Structure 1
Amino acid sequence: MWFVNQLEGESSAYTIDFTLRLIGNLNVKALEQAFAEIVQRHEVLRTHFEIKNNQPVQVIDPNMTIALPVVDLQNLPDPWKQVEHLATAEACKPFDLANGPVLRVKMWQVATDEHILLFAIHHIAADGWSMGILIGELSAYYRAFSTGSSVELPKLPIQYADFAVWQRQWFTNQVLERQLNYWKQHLTGAPPLLELPTDRPRPAIQTFRGGTEQLQLDALLTQQLKKLSQESRSTLFMTLLAGFVVLMSRYSGQTDLVVGSPIANRNRTEIEGLIGFFVNSLALRFDLSQEPTFEGLLAQVRQVTQNAYDHQDLPFEMLVEELQLERNLDRNPLTQVVFALQNAPTSPWDLPDVKVEGMPSGLDSVRLDLEVYLWDAPEGLGGFCSYNRDLFDAATITRMMQHFKTLLAAIVDNPHQPVSLLPLLIEQERHQLLVEWNDTQVDYPQNQCIHQLFESQVERTPDAVAVVFENQQFTYHELNCRANQLAQYLRSVGVGADVLVGLCVERSLLMAIGLLAILKAGGAYVPLDPEYPTERLSFMLEDAQVWVLLTQQHLSDKLPKNQANTVFLDEIWSKIAQNSQENFSNGVTASQSSECDLH
């Protein structure tokens, strides 16, 4: 966190904030005392970070106090509008890690019995698990101070600084080598970027401008996902993660991809009750190149996650350094998307005589391209997707989350299906693609052939581009001229009504010329795929009694040697042009024929 702050500068991207509506007989003094006690109980909340001897160090303030200022907005004509603006500005204010504090609290009074409370903590001092601890302890202290009772919280055996020292000592050469070896083996050669299709180009420097899209799965689908997890000896998180990996692979087109997932990293009893930054990011790499079924992918996800849990202690930033990944200001290293199923213990707000309601956060920041967080509830799995607004529109993320739900429903319906065939589209999109956008019926003149309709288009738009192949293209006029030239040559060798002409050329502009020329000459077009076996091509030529075969010289080895009237288009084009110039009056119908450039 400190390094990122130095690299990217001060921002609100790593701020954890709560905005609460407190309704009732609030004891402001008791709340202020409760915050003060928590700050004294947890050293990390009164820690700032200085540079000494060119190294960052934790500096703990032994006597830091915390004030809870209350701004009275009751006399304003629209206090709610004011408080919304003020709370957003306060939440977005960056922290000064070098001087502290890392915790801010502010309160606004909008009515006699109504207050708005904001408290914000920099991520360097707390994580998601810490919020449950803070809420539980704040409620306990407030109850004690507001009622005059006592509170007995279990004594903290260590502080965060103790953990930091222990972690460095524990990472001996042997432990560090074992963890590093695993992650290096797992991630060497991994793609540096998950290339999701974005609505806008990636900016040169991240701005962390975030948006949020809610996600809700109904109780039935949630129960089906849990049942599938049990039957496959997997956790619910593994099943959901596997579904998310399929979604990311289908969106990006990548079969080798890395997805980040946070882990609480509180695997020792001494740190379970500490506020602090313990969470670690796991970089999980998956391989879908062998077209696995969902069951097969889930087995891979189970193995990858279990291995990652066995090596979860290596800090993510140390891994990035050891892999010597290039730092780019336009994206995060190694992982740009995160998926998590939240299971950290939570505590309800319990303030006597005060009703507590959560309010939308004033922050609009996001740390990565895409972050999806889910949690289990009686009504089903719920959560949200945070996304970078510099890259994605809200409608794109809404559609992506709908596809995720469709995908999960298809997974529980048929987990044996290859992941590449699992449906993504909702019914409305399927109807749009298959019916609405496929409604291409057009009324054409019944007394004209295809080549005559083409000639009419030549008259309307002669200079418009008609056909493109790689770096070559023809306008309608150019294509028509060349087709006329070839058609005249075909007429000179006997092509007319009821005469079958084979066309065996690779995909190219010659294919378009040849098809039109055959029709203009009055013949019938017989398509011959040069990828077919020679025996198959011989049978087709003999069975159709093809009179003339149009092809290319380099395909001659694939064609029967006894085929009469074989024309190699890439060799005799100059002869065709000359012949058409000399015999242009042989009756071929062609728009703008007198204007054709035969060379």
Structure 2
Amino acid sequence: MTKPTGREHRLARLTPEQRAAFEARTRGRATAATPEPAATTGSAASGATAGTPSETGHRSAITPAQGPLPLSFGQERLWFLEQLTPGLGVHNEYVALRLTGTLDLAALDAALNRLADRHEALRTVIEVADGVPVQRVLPPGRSVLETVEADDTEGGDLAVAEREAARPFDLAQGPLFRAVLIRSAPDRALLLVVNHHMVGDAWSRAVLVDELCSGYRAEREGETAAPAPLPLRYGDWAAWQRRTLTDEHLADHLTYWRDRLAGTPPLLDLVTDRPRPAVPTHKGGRTRFTLDAGLTEAVERAARTARATPFMVTLAAWQAVLMRHSGQEDIVVGVPTAGRDRPELASLAGMFVNSLVLRADLSGDPTFEELLAQVRETSLGAFAHAEVPFERLVRELSPDRALGHAPLYQVQFGYRNVPERELSLPGVRVEPVDLDNGLCRTDLSLELARSGEVTEGICEFSRDLFDATSAQTLTAALERVLRRATADPRLRLSELLALTPAEQALLDAAGDGGPAPEGAPDVLTAFAEAVRTRPDAEAVVSGGTTLTFRALDERARRIAGQLAAAGVRPGDRVGIGLRRCADLPAALLAVLMTGGAYVPLDPDYPAERLRYVCGDATPTAVLVHTPTRSAFASGIVPEGVALVDVDAAETPAVTAPAVTAVDAEAPAYVIHTSGSTG
């Protein structure tokens, strides 16, 4: 096992400019494209990448902005989302540090104040001027630190910290940066630093923690010299971004993204524990897991063999898992990128993070080797065109929008392989603390981080959709796919995703209802008994229509008579092309009365899908009604198959032929699945 002290540590020490040059050379060898600066292999955010397609030397200088400071593209999207769902802490960014020892409270307070005074972004609020949101920087000098007391019971300070991490900010009033010291004993405290994503990202957190530690040491040692001034303000960069990233400048990159994302599905429709709500609550949970040292080394080895990166290997495996749990072969995920491709941005607090949309085609049951090659090519292409802000991409592609899910992608993935910085304060032991504020931004977000010889993972999930056990099922599947794929990358996805014996046993048990109880009636017998004993009781309520058991029986027999007249006999299949209405249960009963099996045909399916199902199931007849008559009358049903209209006025009242015996082994229905359930 090789500890991450070689190449990873050397990369971690590179400046953004040096890293850009390194990645440009790497991409130049890998593709025929012009070498251009690209992304970091890891950041405090996700470790994915953050490239731009323009060479650093050819970019215009960032000069001091004059007048009202505009929002960056990323800030503008966050502001819009806040208007849709105000009063939530879903865009809070936070870090918690356990401090054990004799803490100098005055030095800590001064160090935090120095941070806010030094970084204008931390003193920024958002106000609306002439209908347009702009940045306004509050004056320096505000005290940042709040101190609260917590009981010394186990987890008491953590509960306070998680509540504080979820407490929302007021974008207009501010401040959008706060620090809370939660003291549970004289020599024990928890420091929580929180900011709105509007004024800082994960890279910013690393910058702020570094400066906090150095500022505390300086205060303790009586140093009065101010740190070197920052090269620019966040507002200067936001104004430069607005001025530079014009449609003309981005034209080639937008063409790439239009071609790459043409026809993407609007939603990754994963199997969920609950239906998707019309508007998400953003309540979330987290589950953690570890890829052991052996698997971590295997991932690195597979990456080297394929001239790829661990990010690409794990992304390919994650997309395979998402295919398995959605039944879709066109898989789109979002990858957060640092967005700091210029050297002068490395030391700034602010929101620079961007998102790339990475798409994979998993059709045709490829080998993992083939999938990884595709993911590698896709990733390099995306990094080469990463200058387009995600917000600008959404506007360009204009995808179908819905309040219930995010545009373009709903699942996020990140990989960080830059070693964590060591934290130290004089006389105080500092330990990072893992917090969960109970909120989430996407359906699923998976982040992997190299930690010594192992890889730590966090899967954040929407509680609107998933239980913790479902998230754990996904991460367990990811680990299983990685183990199989790194052992033999020539395995096909169907082999990588094959059920374990334990899973197969669970599936078999779930699908086996056991033998019917002795003397249990079949469906038609039970229905006939209900008609006899409760003829006037309500059986069906649909919209404004109500059918009693007697009326339902009469309706079902009438439709069964139509089917018999159309030639349906026991053992035949009958298509059901009705929308949801009172006639639908009558039609299902009618098919069973004839001894047939019904075939559901959703009228909203594409014509090609309906044509395929009808051709494959070979029904003797297809039931339709007024709302669906035209949909099935235009070449959907094979020649010779009767279309039986249950709404036809001239339909004779024919009594269904009696079914003297019901064969318990005979099929009752034939359903064509999308693959996710079958």
* C-alpha deviation, 1:345, in angstroms: 6.4
Which residue of structure 1 aligns with residue 255 of structure 2? Answer: 181
Which residue of structure 2 aligns with residue 379 of structure 1? Answer: 453
For the residues of structure 1 that align with 2:287 and 2:404, how far apart are their CA atoms?
23
Which aligned pairs between 1:521-540 and structure 2 lie closer than 5 A?
none
Q: Out of 417, 420, 424, which is 1:350 matched to?
A: 424
Which residue of structure 2 aligns with residue 261 of structure 1? Answer: 335
Q: Which shows bigger deviation, 368-377 or 181-190?
A: 181-190
Which residue of structure 2 aligns with residue 170 of structure 1? Answer: 244
Letter in 2 for 1:267: D
* C-alpha deviation, 1:203, in angstroms: 1.1
Q: Out of 280, 283, 287, which is 1:206 matched to?
A: 280
CA contact (8 A) 1:250 1:420 kept: no
Which residue of structure 2 aligns with residue 234 of structure 1? Answer: 308
Q: Out of 403, 406, 414, which is 1:329 matched to?
A: 403
* C-alpha deviation, 1:391, in angstroms: 0.6
Q: Which shows bigger deviation, 131-140 or 353-362?
A: 353-362
- SS of alignment partner, residue 179 of structure 2: strand
For the residues of structure 2 that align with 1:266 and 1:279, how far apart are their CA atoms?
8
Cα gap change, 1:229 to 1:151, in 2 (>3 Å): farther
Which residue of structure 1 aligns with residue 95 of structure 2? Answer: 18
* C-alpha deviation, 1:284, in angstroms: 1.2
For the residues of structure 1 that align with 2:392 and 2:516, how far apart are their CA atoms?
67
Task: Pick the structure with greater CA Rg.
Answer: 1
Deviations 1:522-567 (A, max 9, x none): xxxxxxxx99xxxxxxxxxxxxxxxxxxxxx969xxxxxxxxxxxx
For the residues of structure 1 that align with 2:170 and 2:80, how far apart are their CA atoms?
13
CA-atom RMSD, angstroms? 3.6
Cα gap change, 1:554 to 1:91, in 2 (>3 Å): closer
Which aligned pairs between 1:84-99 and structure 2 lie closer than 5 A?
84-99=158-173
Query: Which residues of structure 1 form unaligned runs of 5+?
Result: 445-452, 466-473, 483-502, 516-529, 532-552, 556-573, 581-588, 592-599
Q: Which shows bigger deviation, 384-393 or 94-103?
A: 94-103
CA contact (8 A) 1:156 1:274 kept: yes
For the residues of structure 2 that align with 1:266 and 1:173, how far apart are their CA atoms?
21
Q: Out of 118, 123, 134, which is 1:57 matched to?
A: 134
Which residue of structure 2 aligns with residue 118 of structure 1? Answer: 192
Which residue of structure 1 aligns with residue 144 of structure 2? Answer: 67
TM-score normalised by the chain length of structure 1: 0.73
CA contact (8 A) 2:357 2:409 kept: yes
CA contact (8 A) 1:102 1:125 kept: yes
CA contact (8 A) 1:50 1:59 kept: yes
Letter in 2 for 1:386: E
Cα gap change, 1:463 to 1:263, in 2 (>3 Å): same
Query: Which residues of structure 2 form unaligned runs of 5+?
Result: 1-77, 529-551, 561-569, 576-590, 598-614, 617-638, 642-653, 663-678
Report % sequence identity. 37
Deviations 1:404-441 (A, max 9, x none): 1111111112222222332353443234346x568899
Which residue of structure 2 aligns with residue 525 of structure 1? Answer: none
Letter in 1 for 2:476: Q
CA contact (8 A) 2:442 2:461 kept: yes
Q: Out of 210, 214, 220, which is 1:146 matched to?
A: 220
For the residues of structure 2 that align with 1:212 and 1:362, how far apart are their CA atoms?
7
Letter in 2 for 1:66: S
Which residue of structure 2 aligns with residue 278 of structure 1? Answer: 352
Cα gap change, 1:424 to 1:20, in 2 (>3 Å): farther
Which residue of structure 1 aligns with residue 82 of structure 2? Answer: 5
Q: Out of 104, 110, 113, which is 1:27 matched to?
A: 104
Report the count of equivalent residues. Answer: 486
Letter in 2 for 1:94: P
Cα gap change, 1:164 to 1:67, in 2 (>3 Å): closer
* C-alpha deviation, 1:36, in angstroms: 1.1
For the residues of structure 2 that align with 1:210 and 1:347, how far apart are their CA atoms?
28
* C-alpha deviation, 1:72, in angstroms: 4.2
CA contact (8 A) 2:594 2:657 kept: no
CA contact (8 A) 2:324 2:497 kept: no
CA contact (8 A) 1:129 1:345 kept: no
For the residues of structure 2 that align with 1:429 and 1:223, how far apart are their CA atoms?
27
Question: Which structure's relative contact order is higher, taking Cα pairs within 8 Å and 6+ residues apart?
Answer: 2
CA contact (8 A) 2:574 2:596 kept: no
TM-score normalised by the chain length of structure 2: 0.65
Deviations 1:204-234 (A, max 9, x none): 1111100001021111111111111111111
For the residues of structure 2 that align with 1:340 and 1:306, how far apart are their CA atoms?
15
Letter in 1 for 2:148: V
Cα gap change, 1:299 to 1:81, in 2 (>3 Å): closer
